[in-house]
């Protein structure tokens, strides 16, 4: 049994590093534009986000993409804000602890793939080629 008395939960920087690790594994055609997406790690989603998504429990939201999918972008309609992926540290850690059957790196990678799917306009079939989560 591990001695956990001197350990702390991964902080925002460690969660971000795991997300960046996933981006580095993508084919370059996807990795390059994925690196241009702003990555934010917060403890929880704010009330405005939760209200907009009609989510009562902040532990239910591990991540969200805020932007315009690449398939919908147009030079004639410039975007006023950068594409951003938000990861919510406490919700991710809560799911990781509840599951107990995946590594934290795998869970963060899974959340990132699904948020990047919104950015790239990937279909469920596209996601399945990259994220073999169910295996």
By C-alpha distance, which of 81, 28, 86, 40 is closest to 61? 86
- C-alpha count within 13 angstroms, C-beta hemisphere, residue 106: 13
In the predicted model, is pLDDT for residue 110 greater than 70? yes
3-state secondary structure of 88: strand
| 4-59 tens-digit pLDDT | 677 788 999 999 999 999 999 888 888 999 999 999 999 999 999 999 999 999 99
pLDDT band at 107 (very low <50, low <70, confident <90, very high): very high
Please state, rounded to an integer, the average pLDDT across all residues of the chain.
Answer: 87
How many Cβ atoms sit within 10 Å of the Cβ of residue 18?
22
Q: How many Å apart are CA 22 and CA 87, to the nearest integer? A: 13
Q: What is the pLDDT of residue 2?
A: 62
Q: What is the pLDDT of residue 118?
A: 87
Classify domain 12-70+79-130 at the CATH topology level.
Answer: Zincin-like (3.30.2010)
- What percent of the chain is helix, strand and coil (3-state, nearest 5)? 50, 10, 40
Burial of 88 (0-12, 13-18, 19+ CB in 10 A): buried
pLDDT band at 133 (very low <50, low <70, confident <90, very high): low
- C-alpha count within 13 angstroms, C-beta hemisphere, residue 68: 11
């Amino acid at each position: 049994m591990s001695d956990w008395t001197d350990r702390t939960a991964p902080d925002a920087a460690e969660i971000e590093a795991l997300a960046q690790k996933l981006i580095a594994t993508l084919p370059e055609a996807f990795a390059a534009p994925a690196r241009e997406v702003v990555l934010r790690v917060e403890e929880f989603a704010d009330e405005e986000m939760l209200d907009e998504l009609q989510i009562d429990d902040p532990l239910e939201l591990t991540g969200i993409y805020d932007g315009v999918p690449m398939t919908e972008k147009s030079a004639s309609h410039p975007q006023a804000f950068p594409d951003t992926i938000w990861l919510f540290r406490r919700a991710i850690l809560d799911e990781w602890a509840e599951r107990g059957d995946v590594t934290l790196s795998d869970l963060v990678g899974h959340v990132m793939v699904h948020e990047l799917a919104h950015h790239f306009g990937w279909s469920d079939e596209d996601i399945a080629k990259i994220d073999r989560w169910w295996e």
